[in-house]
Structure 1
Amino acid sequence: MTITKDSKVVIVGAGVFGLTTALHLSRRGYKNVHIFDRQPYDKNRYAVSLGADAASADENKILRASYGDRKLYQDLAFTAMPEWRRWNETLASTPSDELPSDLTQHTRLWDNCGYVRLSDRGLEDSEKETQKHFPAEVKYTQYRVSDEQRRADATRDGIPASKIDPFGRLDRALPTDGVLDMTAGYVLASRACSFALHLCQKAGVKTYFGADHALRRLVQHDGRVLGIESADGNKHIADLVIVACGGWTPSLVSQAEQLLETTSGSVLSIRLPEDRPDLWDKYSPEKFPVWDFNMGSYEPYKTIGGIYGLPRTPEGVVKIAFRGAKWTDYSRNSTVSGMPLSYPKTHVEKVPEEAMRVIRGFCEENLPDLIELDLEYERLCWYTDSVNNSFLIDYVPGTGNLMVASGGSGHGFKFLPVLGQHIVDSIERKETQYTRLFAWREVPHGSKNGLEEGPGGWRRLDKQKMVGRDTWKPSSKL
């Protein structure tokens, strides 16, 4: 199989992996690129409030290069940051009437507000590895929370004290350590996807959105994929099909079942009242950082950890999320093995009680002004974890003309502007350090990032008590 610049490429899935693939295919001169998705992204512009339910559709996502000893991901994140800045600059120089309705010249997709990674048990091992591997030229941007001199340095450098100790834990003499990383921040996720889609369409990528264009099946013959059949019954013949369907990927490509697992995080959002300028100021990205707490030391049903949050959005929404437990929903069976598969259970307006316990417990101690407010919404955000948290981007073994681009493992969004160049390298079968990193792999022995639990694991949603906003405030009981 030889793919040329005139070959017809069909991408199934218009989230981060699909968008970045289409964008970089067009930049490299491919002229016949088509994206299909069951969601009406041309209408809802990836907005959660309008029904978008993919992992890529979100208020905001963390942009950071803190990867411990995983230097290739660290380097890729540092490569992405200037590209995000260029997207900000492009938006600022484009007349608003030439942009999608959810974007204006004043939209800042990337906000370099800083990211404080906290623990009440000393500096976590992952942070020690990150600091060990960060380039020397960015060391000055790293402020140790427990170091009085580095806190003074942060003040000298014009960084508000609220960014290094956003919860006042030092003032309250609570155990606190960590690092404020001023290379990091967040991106406005749904609007970033909307902008990437805009760039794809400007480059000539053809898009097919809505229920009629959902994938019904892959069209196959003699071990080759000839194209796709959409829900409306039409067949779309292609030279190459790329499945980039996030949490739906394992159920669509059976060969990936042992390498990918669909899991969810728990997300709570609080809208700040318009008549509380004090809260709008406190939680603004100018005063408040991205943060996480005890990300490496959560113990189920015992401790507070595996939790993170972000500053308010321009609309005044503060998001707090729990990823200490990655929930599964084994509600489908493999069409090949017959074994249960975890599958996204979207539009669930509740979260597991354990997630609520952790988030509420943290807020009661550290963010009491938020816990007095009403929740905007509570939801599950469905990701696709790989066996080793590394992306899966490669041709499917034993099946001609079919690729998978998935396995974002909860950290793929930040690479939206740049990941596609490596996906196109994989398409063109170029061997690089990144195509090797993302290549099809053997299932490891022992720990498999939680996948070894299978349907018997404790994280299944049907083993959880689901709770809603009526359990949020301190006066309620869990």
Structure 2
Amino acid sequence: MRTYHAIVIGLGAMGSATLCQLALRGRRVLGIEQYNQGHSLGSSHGDSRIIRETYFEHPLYVPLVQRAHALWRELEGRTGNSLMTITGGLMIGPPDGMVVTGTRRSAIEHDLPHEILDAGALRVRYPAFRPTEDMLAVWDPRAGVLDPDACNAAHIDVARATGAEVRWGERVIGWKPDGDGVRVNTAVNSYLTNSLVIAAGGWSGDLLPDLNLPLTVERQAVFWLDPAGPRSSYALGQFPIYAYEYQPGDVCYGFPRLAKGVKASVMHAGEIAGHPSAVRRDVGAADIEQLRAALRPILPELAESEVQATDTCMFTNTPDHDFIVDFHPGYPQVLVSSACSGHGFKFASVIGDIQADLLIEGRAQFDLSPFSIRRFGEHDRSD
């Protein structure tokens, strides 16, 4: 039986990027995905994800997103495909709110270019926005839009072109240590590998039951709207991405006009499901009214617009909403990846780079301690 240097389970954003980076470094690698390429049942599909540099969640993410920027451009160069469009971004909310204070903190700590806009300046620059006088916006000139379907396909294309093997529609039913390596069993085959990367997102619990990771799967509904008035008001290149703190600690976000319309959604306001298979996939009136209520104070025209299309995806959340990038506490040949809590896609290029470093060099150029499994406390381990 052929032995691989590494097997990657799960070929969403993080898995496909890791497979690509390992293949580029000459490793014999296999990627396994339970669904067909481009499926819409996980967290990595669709036409758009935000990338932003002045990261309001925490300054620790800024160096990561800066490296991600460079790697997305490098991937564009390798494939000749457009993957990232810079639009600039607005982080909007009350001056003492989570979004504005967090954005300013990251910008100041990392000396990032940014601009503070009061309500009047924001209305002049982008007339579609109608903020109240007590609102501020922080302008992020390096924010923009990633095309997730194209990004994932590009990582897979480069991986395969440099020797990686890929199995689509092949479900992993388990893995176990085999000497210093790992045996991975699927519904149709068995594989041996020196190292294993589990990038299974919401299915991580199925493959890591011994760790009892405190993960939750959250439904996320997204909408494409068709506002009245001049289409140029929301056009790509003339309208930015944005995040708006519509009530303390709660955020809605959106994009310029894309092929299906002007996309918008409410962050972390969905139902918690016990498993990805239990995520409700239909979208109803209560979902759209939740979005309209969040948008009305800042984008009133958009809030009342006709819905052109809807979709659902899912977030796999940790309690602190930080990532997991760490070796299994009991098996150092197994790297646990993902659980990105709804804000991970933009980092996929750099996470793939980091995980290849970990598997090959045993270390990474970034401090990964915030992403440790051990931060959750003691977990069960197999003997």
TM-score (norm 2): 0.86
The structure with the largest strand share of the pair is: 2
Determine if contact 1:422/1:434 at 8 Å carries over to the other structure.
Answer: no
Shift in alpha-carbon separation, 1:79–1:369, aligned structure 2, 3 A: closer
Displacement of 1:252: 1.9
The letter for the 2-side match of 1:167 is F
Shift in alpha-carbon separation, 1:431–1:377, aligned structure 2, 3 A: closer
Displacement of 1:188: 1.0
1:25 aligns with one of 22, 26, 33: 22
Rounded Cα–Cα distance in structure 2 between residues aligned with 1:258 and 1:87: 32
Q: What residue number does 1:292 align with?
A: 243
Q: What residue number does 2:91 align with?
A: 117
Determine if contact 2:291/2:303 at 8 Å carries over to the other structure.
Answer: no
Q: What residue number does 2:125 align with?
A: 161
Shift in alpha-carbon separation, 1:400–1:293, aligned structure 2, 3 A: closer
The letter for the 2-side match of 1:286 is G
2:103 aligns with one of 130, 150, 160: 130
Displacement of 1:277: 8.9
**Corresponding residue SS for 2:374:** coil
Q: What residue number does 1:398 align with?
A: 330
Q: What residue number does 1:278 align with?
A: 230
Task: Compare relative contact order (CA 8 Å, sep 6+) and give the higher one, 1 or 2.
Answer: 2
Determine if contact 1:65/1:74 at 8 Å carries over to the other structure.
Answer: yes
Rounded Cα–Cα distance in structure 1 between residues aligned with 2:358 and 2:270: 29
Rounded Cα–Cα distance in structure 1 between residues aligned with 2:251 and 2:57: 20
1:189 aligns with one of 145, 148, 159: 148
Aligned-pair Cα RMSD in Å: 3.1
Rounded Cα–Cα distance in structure 1 between residues aligned with 2:375 and 2:234: 45
Rounded Cα–Cα distance in structure 2 between residues aligned with 1:372 and 1:24: 42
Determine if contact 1:394/1:426 at 8 Å carries over to the other structure.
Answer: no
Q: What residue number does 1:440 align with?
A: 373
The letter for the 2-side match of 1:33 is V
Q: What residue number does 2:59 align with?
A: 71
Rounded Cα–Cα distance in structure 1 between residues aligned with 2:52 and 2:35: 28
Displacement of 1:262: 2.1
Determine if contact 2:198/2:336 at 8 Å carries over to the other structure.
Answer: yes
Q: Does structure 1 residue 145 correspond to structure 2 residue 113? A: no
Q: What residue number does 2:381 align with?
A: none
Determine if contact 1:285/1:312 at 8 Å carries over to the other structure.
Answer: yes
- Kindly report which structure 2 residues correspond to 1:453-472, keeping only aligned pairs within 5 A, or say none: none
The letter for the 2-side match of 1:26 is A
Q: What residue number does 1:348 align with?
A: 281
**Corresponding residue SS for 2:278:** coil
Rounded Cα–Cα distance in structure 2 between residues aligned with 1:132 and 1:161: 24
Q: Does structure 1 residue 321 correspond to structure 2 residue 265? A: yes
The letter for the 1-side match of 2:330 is G
Q: What residue number does 2:251 align with?
A: 306
Q: Does structure 1 residue 373 correspond to structure 2 residue 345? A: no
Rounded Cα–Cα distance in structure 2 between residues aligned with 1:69 and 1:40: 33
**Corresponding residue SS for 1:387:** coil
Displacement of 1:235: 1.2
Q: Does structure 1 residue 199 correspond to structure 2 residue 162? A: no
Displacement of 1:414: 0.9
**Corresponding residue SS for 1:200:** helix
1:179 aligns with one of 113, 135, 138: 138
**Corresponding residue SS for 1:62:** strand
Shift in alpha-carbon separation, 1:296–1:196, aligned structure 2, 3 A: farther
Displacement of 1:126: 4.3
- C-alpha distance after superposition, 1:293-343 (max 9, x if no partner): 116715xxxxxx421111122x2432211124253112xxxxxxxxxxx44
Shift in alpha-carbon separation, 1:369–1:260, aligned structure 2, 3 A: closer
Rounded Cα–Cα distance in structure 1 between residues aligned with 2:172 and 2:17: 20
Q: Does structure 1 residue 231 correspond to structure 2 residue 187? A: yes
Shift in alpha-carbon separation, 1:346–1:278, aligned structure 2, 3 A: same
Q: Does structure 1 residue 11 correspond to structure 2 residue 14? A: no
**Corresponding residue SS for 1:238:** strand
Determine if contact 1:266/1:351 at 8 Å carries over to the other structure.
Answer: no
Rounded Cα–Cα distance in structure 1 between residues aligned with 2:63 and 2:31: 29
1:38 aligns with one of 11, 29, 34: 34
**Corresponding residue SS for 2:263:** strand
Q: Percent identity?
A: 19
Displacement of 1:406: 1.5
Shift in alpha-carbon separation, 1:89–1:236, aligned structure 2, 3 A: closer
The letter for the 2-side match of 1:214 is R
Give the gaps of 5 or more residues in structure 1: 1-5, 95-106, 299-304, 331-341, 446-478
Rounded Cα–Cα distance in structure 1 between residues aligned with 2:212 and 2:67: 31
Structure index of larger Rg: 1
The letter for the 1-side match of 2:208 is V
Displacement of 1:285: 2.0
- C-alpha distance after superposition, 1:214-242 (max 9, x if no partner): 112224569x773222223x112222221
Rounded Cα–Cα distance in structure 2 between residues aligned with 1:250 and 1:295: 33
